[in-house]
Amino acid sequence: MPVSKHSGGKVQEAHSTQGQVRIAIVEDDADQLDYLRLCLGADYLCSGYRDASAFIRSLAQSVPDVLLLDWNLPDISGIELLRQLRRQGHQILAMVITARNDETSLVSAFEAGANDFIGKPVRPGELKARVQALARRVVPPATSDHYRVGAYRVDLQARSLFINDEAVRLTNREFDLAVLLLQRIGELLHRDVLLRSVWGLDESIGTRTLDTHVSRLRKKLGLNGDFGFQLRSVYQLGYRLEKQS
């Protein structure tokens, strides 16, 4: 794989040969950034950023599934960047990369909202294994073709959904959206994640299409509390399916 070409704060995006899991790497050292991209670029869509500010600006256009960030960045620390993301409601799966290996640093990373932590020098096999484990959590696989969530029953093979065993007529997109929401109850799903998961990389599909499908799904599935779940809109971010107590 060729070495990446840097342009300002952002590194040109690599092309993936698998899936659509997107990884953002925030690392100010150009050589280290290239090394991480070489390790991961064959399997994932990787975007690189040389500072926190460049990455934050990118969120207006696209939210990654997985974030790899260095502890020491030129503008703010990776830990402070992670704290900001969590305060804003972002649920991006995050791995902190640092030369620090003491217990205090490890605890600080997890308290800031990290999902994983890897020390430098980064070993490629360990990095790939840890990233693969995070990537599997992007859309958790159902354990069976048939499963229940409260009053809802999902048949993945038949692409059918039932409420109290009564079939609900859904379009293909509505079904995909419903399955994603039911698999990730309680999580804030950003608009970009929902669009990418249900419509793929079709850039002609915008947030208005998503909002329309969500509105229809809310009515068809009674996601206003009728069956124990409420689909809430989180202003300017996305949607969260919540289980009512």
Q: pLDDT tens-digit profile of 194-223?
A: 888 888 766 678 889 999 999 999 999 999
225 within some domain: yes
Q: Among all chains, which residue has been given the structure tokens 């690599």? A: 14
Please state the φ and ψ torsions of residue 162, each to the nearest 5 degrees: -125, 145
Residue 177 and residue 131 in one domain: no
- Can you tell me the distance from the alpha carbon of 221 to that of 237, in angstroms, rounded to the nearest whole number? 22
Between residues 141 and 187, which one has the greater pLDDT?
Answer: 187
Residue 92 and residue 159 in one domain: no
Residue 107 and residue 21 in one domain: yes
Residue 12 and residue 129 in one domain: yes
pTM over 0.85: no
Q: Which pLDDT does position 8 carry in this prediction?
A: 42
The CATH number of residue 187's host domain is 1.10.10.10
The CATH number of residue 86's host domain is 3.40.50.2300
> What token pair was written down for 88?
């804003």
140 within some domain: no
Residue 115 and residue 56 in one domain: yes
Last-in-domain residue among 135, 160, 192:
135
Residue 129 and residue 160 in one domain: no
Residue 128 and residue 21 in one domain: yes
1 within some domain: no
182 within some domain: yes
88 within some domain: yes
> What token pair was written down for 83?
């704290």
Q: pLDDT tens-digit profile of 233-243?
A: 988 788 989 88
Residue 108 and residue 156 in one domain: no
Domain, as residue range, for 75:
6-135
Residue 130 and residue 154 in one domain: no
Q: 10 Å Cβ neighbour count for 229? A: 21
Instruction: Report the chain's terminal Cα–Cα distance, integer Å.
Output: 51
